[in-house]
Structure 1
Amino acid sequence: MIHSNTNPPLLSTYAHLVHCSGEALGDIRHKNEVVMEECELPLIDLSSLINGNEAEKVACVSEICKASSEWGFFQVVNHGISLELLRKMRTEQKKLFESSFEKKDSCGLLNKSYRWGNQTATTAKQLSWSEAFHVPLNKISDEAYCQEFNSLREVMGTYAGEMQNLARMLARVLVTNMGKEREEVYNICDESTCFLRLNHYPICPIAPEVFGLIPHTDSDFLTILHQDEVGGLQLMKDFKWVAVKPNQDALIVNIGDLFQAWSNDVYKSVEHKVMVNANVERHSIAYFLCPSYDSVIGSCKEPSVYKKITFAEYRSQIQQDVKNTGQKIGLPRFLNCDQSLDHSTL
């Protein structure tokens, strides 16, 4: 049994935000209304891409690109990452989150990468009922502050390498599909900017009135998610929220803002969120494929929908928007002038 002092003070923070903002629980409940539809994401067997004949590879590439354009999300099986490694990573992750809140918050674990809730939240609807370690890949091999987490560091190193290989393979498919050389995206993503995010969503006594993770799009090229059997992930599809049915045999892949910008809106970075559970906790691990901060994100063709911008500039603008407005604005900030009118009429 996990003791209550392992979790961050989310309930008291939520109550404080409700009090300060004058929100009513009914208002929050209306925005987080129960999703009526559950969906199964497109399921793609990567064995055809890895070991198939030419016709099978072509068919697999077509499935990946179609899902990236129509859904922005898809699932992959037979991806080459061993189930034993995934199980070991999950075991180590749970052990980490079962540590006391004080240890996680103040002991500098995993390069001081611990975060919880939402530091910029000014209202309860901006609070994420979750905690996470957001670790750059090039920092995983650094010595852990506490010896008890050395085994986590070792497993994470192997896990990150496997995720990196899978992400690059998928990025190569998406880039080549647009008629470009794979190096256009492949060479600007390395361990200095790619991340692993270890997520924990504690049991929430006031669910479903709060988000586990507030609605957002990812700011990378693509994300690979390994989640447990507890549902909670939801995404925007055809202008409504749908719940993603968990599949223990699959990894989830989603397109990020940078691939949408680079592909001129061919691939879609889709808004998604996580809802909490009143009875059971949830764990997931996300890998983010990101470019170096000085990399210029252009377009695969002209005219470009978006202005050219470095990853550092993009991140900086996102952080400024969140600070000023409480939410991410993202790609609409960088529309070319002649494209703004087109997008405003959609």
Structure 2
Amino acid sequence: MSESEVTMNLELETYPPIFRQLNNQSSTHQKVIEPVGESELTIPAIDLHCLSPEELGRACRDWGLFRLVNHGVPSTLLRQLYEHAKELFSLSFECKQEIFCSPLSYVWGTTCITPSGAALLTGPQYIQWVEGIHFPLGQLSQLQPQHHMLASFRLLLEEYGKHLGRLGRTIFKTMAMELNLDPGESETHLGESTGFVRVYRYPLRSMANSAWGIDVHTDSSLLTILNQYEVGGLEVLKDDQWLQVKPIPDELIVNLGDMMQAISNDKYKSVKHRVRLNKHRDRISVGYFVFPKEDSVIRSSNYKPFTYGDFQAQVHQDIKTLGFKVGLERFKLT
């Protein structure tokens, strides 16, 4: 057996059985994914050290995302998270199933998580090539790691969560100021206790032009803060054109979710995005998601009053019955 074959077999051990089979099957049943240009328009950069409400508001209205610079998260911490994540994902699938237990959730094939934490798979043609671990930051103290790698990763996530909570508070406070939101009401719109981290691996695949890492979607969050490290693949929709968001060392990507679009009365965008696979390297990213407080009612002249719990329940119902997320359209006033 050649060295490349040995490497591939070791890689396949990290996949669940259905993905091991799919990796060896022809992908002729899947659609061919359209190519995307190499060029990238200039995505706005927001400097946290001199945060301007006007510049932030412009980025949120025109793009729905921006690069965050001078954010204060140590580059050593970002690198440690990446290296530890690579080690965790390199474990066998059976080992990962065993150690990623409550309060964590572990999924393959979709980023949609049911209340039971199981992936929603409706057939091989719909499977997305993504592996994810869901870490609720407020419950990390309940985690009793059964593996030394996970114990080390938990400590890093606790430190990372403090930094990301600070970023989320600062960014949302500035957005609320720019939108002239009622201070009393807007206090409930950011619930730090809802924050969680999802660590994703998009496995390398020779047939990367016939399957997605994650297909087109919007995030349900208030906002998402992403570190995509060295391997690109993230694409965003801007003016009906798909653009690459290339990784830049030590920069974070912030994108707005459905909750922020509703709170802003559609002034801000919940940006559509997707992730393309890489033929040569695994792509690993770490995303922080934060939502409104559980009892926070979102009121807007464009939507019926709803809580995030209402929204989440509707999304789960739509995925179960339709196979996809409908999102804010379910709450639009007619």
Bin for the TM-score computed over the shorter chain: 0.7 to 0.9
| 1:329 is the counterpart of 2:326 | yes
One-letter amino acid of the counterpart of residue 141, structure 1: S
1:14/1:214 CA distance change after superposition, 3 Å? farther
35, 56, 65: which one pairs with 2:57? 65
CA distance in 1, matches of 2:59, 2:140: 32
Q: Residue 43 of structure 2 aligns with which residue?
A: 41
1:101/1:331 CA distance change after superposition, 3 Å? same
Shift of 1:248: 1.5
Contact 1:38 1:244 in 2 (8 A): no
Q: Residue 193 of structure 1 aligns with which residue?
A: 194
Contact 2:29 2:125 in 1 (8 A): no
Q: Residue 162 of structure 2 aligns with which residue?
A: 161
1:252/1:182 CA distance change after superposition, 3 Å? farther
What is the aligned length?
315
Contact 1:136 1:191 in 2 (8 A): no
User: Which range moves more in the overlay, 84-93 or 267-276?
Assistant: 84-93
Contact 1:109 1:146 in 2 (8 A): no
2, 15, 21: which one pairs with 1:12? 21
Contact 2:104 2:136 in 1 (8 A): no
Shift of 1:110: 6.1
One-letter amino acid of the counterpart of residue 155, structure 2: E
CA distance in 2, matches of 1:215, 1:183: 35
Q: Residue 78 of structure 2 aligns with which residue?
A: 86
Contact 1:197 1:287 in 2 (8 A): yes
Alignment deviations for residues 69-125 of structure 1 (CA, whole Å, 9 cap, x no partner): 000010011011111111121122122111211111233446241111133232445
Q: Residue 260 of structure 2 aligns with which residue?
A: 259
95, 98, 103: which one pairs with 2:90? 98
- Superposed, 1:202-221 pairs within 5 Å as 202-221=203-222
3-state SS, counterpart of residue 164 of structure 1? helix
Unpaired segments ≥5 residues, structure 1: 50-59, 338-346
| TM-score (norm: length of structure 2) | 0.88
Q: Residue 75 of structure 1 aligns with which residue?
A: 67
1:147/1:280 CA distance change after superposition, 3 Å? closer
CA distance in 2, matches of 1:17, 1:192: 44
Shift of 1:215: 1.1
Cα RMSD for the two superposed structures? 2.2
Shift of 1:327: 1.2
Give percent identity, aligned residues only: 38
CA distance in 2, matches of 1:132, 1:110: 14
Alignment deviations for residues 262-314 of structure 1 (CA, whole Å, 9 cap, x no partner): 11111000110101111110000000111233321123xxxx11111111110
CA distance in 2, matches of 1:223, 1:104: 25
CA distance in 2, matches of 1:14, 1:4: 8
Contact 1:208 1:277 in 2 (8 A): no
User: Which range moves more in the overlay, 5-14 or 145-154?
Assistant: 5-14
CA distance in 2, matches of 1:328, 1:228: 28
CA distance in 2, matches of 1:156, 1:228: 16
Contact 2:136 2:194 in 1 (8 A): yes
Q: Residue 127 of structure 1 aligns with which residue?
A: 127
- Superposed, 1:110-149 pairs within 5 Å as 111-118=103-110, 119-148=119-148, 149=150
| 1:24 is the counterpart of 2:21 | no
Shift of 1:17: 12
One-letter amino acid of the counterpart of residue 327, structure 2: G
Contact 2:71 2:167 in 1 (8 A): yes
User: Which range moves more in the overlay, 87-96 or 194-203?
Assistant: 87-96
Shift of 1:259: 0.7
CA distance in 2, matches of 1:67, 1:310: 26
Shift of 1:210: 0.7
CA distance in 2, matches of 1:306, 1:312: 15
1:240/1:126 CA distance change after superposition, 3 Å? farther
